[in-house]
Amino acid sequence: MPAPPQDAFAYALSSNQAWAGYKGHQNPDFFPKLASGQSPSILWLGCSDSRCPETTILGLQPGDVFTHRNIANIVSPTDINTSAVIEYAVAHLKVKHVVLCGHSACGGAAAALGDNRVGGVLDTWLTPLKALRNAHREELAAISDDKKRAVRIAELNVEAGVNVLMANAVIQDAIAERGLEVHGTLFDIGSGRIRDLGFGTGKGGLNGVSGLNGDAGDVVRGKHAMLVFRTDGAGMQAR
């Protein structure tokens, strides 16, 4: 008779204990350093989708990325929650990069492309995506593949969000005063890769995004390769 499945929350707590023990053994100063304060280089604005955990997909560590996520990574100028996160990250933490990231296979994008209501507050929240669908109806209708159509509206959503970010007074001041960079990107769940869409202040590519609390470099070693992070980019080296 198979054993009953373990409670997901109990497993998560157990996994946390193992993770904390491993990290503390690997680097005894890791948690004391985290507890002393934060100085992230990146503000990440992304989707709440469980498949898009920013620190993991960026290959970074706790303390490297300040984060705000919501359904379909919508950036609204009237959303005080998003605005508060942006103001704190940009004006107080002095992040160097603001990254807005959409993703493939987005449920919010699929809902916006459909004609059925989701129900409740979700329909209100997804109104900006519905408006994008209406504004680009001909272009989207010409895409026969449903997955590609969903990716396209996700790209349009990122572009619209970056336009809102570029109109934000706190971000405008930081761009003028200290060269803050704003990036619009898309995460492909099927490949694990992030693609720079070229929106914002960047000119394509996320090379040069420093995110290791100012460290010159960091190395994550595995059995067959090591992942090397530096301020000029990251790369995989075979062992």
How far from the centroid of its chain's Cα atoms is residue 48's Cα? Answer: 9
pLDDT at position 203: 60
Q: What is the 3-state secondary structure (H, E, C) of 208-231?
A: CCCCCCCCCEEEEECCCEEEEEEC
Condensed to tens digits (0 to 9), the pLDDT of residues 122-177 reads 999 999 999 999 999 999 999 999 999 999 999 999 999 999 999 999 999 999 99
Across-strand partners of 184? 100, 199
Confidence of residue 1 (pLDDT cuts 50, 70, 90): low
Confidence of residue 208 (pLDDT cuts 50, 70, 90): very low
Catalytic residues: 47, 49, 51, 103, 106
Q: Is 214 left (phi over 0), alpha (psi -120 to 50) or beta?
A: left
Give the span between the Cα atoms of 220 and 71, in whole angstroms: 31
Condensed to tens digits (0 to 9), the pLDDT of residues 213-239 reads 334 344 444 444 444 545 555 555 544
